[in-house]
Amino acid sequence: MTAAAEKESFGRDQVIKIISSVIKKVEHSGDDSRLSIFTELKELERIIEEARSEIGLARPGDIKDKHIPTATDELDAVVEATAEASGKIMDACDVIQEKAAEAGDAGGPITDEVMKIYEACSFQDITGQRITKVVTTLKTIEDKVHKLVQILGDKLPIEDQGDEGDTRTGDERLLNGPQMPDKAISQDDIDALLAGFDDN
């Protein structure tokens, strides 16, 4: 049995023991004590229902299926974009170094400055590592939310499971940032669109 299975089994056993203990206390209690226990159980039921309702309002399905995947995709795109930009900068530095070498002693100061650029480009490795940690954390949260949705299942409020829509207003609705690479309009599409205007 895996650790997760043992933990799940332990949890069920604990719940069964608690329920059995409550039943025994009810059976061996007087009317006043029995009423008090039932009152406490009713209050516990109310608290559980409130918690379930609050979780439903938090739209865990959207968190799992939309918000976290979007966030991780955007962060992955940041890592790719910074890596690509860093690569282009270093390629340009290689060319500059070659030209500086051709200049002899006069190219020495240029080479020194290029080395500073190389060192500065190490930011890409550091930011990449940090963003990867954030992505890993988000995916862990996504997994936890998924398990929560599985546990609650159809007990979540149905009316809260629809599309939440865009709640932004004014200029904020225009701030969507750069397109993801797989969704961006290609230069060929733009050229074809402009050519269509020329035909008219």
More confident residue, 55 or 189: 55
Is residue 117's pLDDT more than 60? yes
Rounded-to-integer distance, Cα 88 and Cα 82, Å: 10
Is residue 199's pLDDT more than 70? no
Per-residue tokens: 181: 């690479």
Query: What is the value of pTM for the model shown?
Result: 0.49
- Contact indicator for 86, 124 with CB cutoff of 8 Å: yes
Assign residue 2 a region (left: φ > 0; alpha: ψ between -120 and 50; beta: otherwise).
beta
More confident residue, 176 or 73: 73
Q: Which residues contact 145 (CB under 8 A, 6 or more apart)?
A: 60, 63, 64, 68
Rounded-to-integer distance, Cα 167 and Cα 165, Å: 6
pLDDT given for residue 164 in this prediction? 52
pLDDT given for residue 12 in this prediction? 57
Task: Provide mean pLDDT across the span 12-25.
Answer: 67
Tell me the per-residue pLDDT of 45-54, one tens digit each, with 9 for 90 and over.
Answer: 777 777 777 7
Task: Provide mean pLDDT across the span 10-18.
Answer: 61
Q: Tell me the pLDDT band of 95, cut-offs 50, 70 and 90.
A: very high
Is residue 111's pLDDT more than 80? yes
Is residue 65's pLDDT more than 60? yes
Tell me the per-residue pLDDT of 19-36, one tens digit each, with 9 for 90 and over.
Answer: 667 767 766 666 676 677
Task: Provide mean pLDDT across the span 55-71.
Answer: 74
Question: Nearest CA to 140 among 152, 129, 148?
Answer: 148
Q: Tell me the pLDDT band of 176, cut-offs 50, 70 and 90.
A: low
DSSP for 2-28, written as a single string: -HHHHHHHHHHHHHHHHHHHHHHHHHT
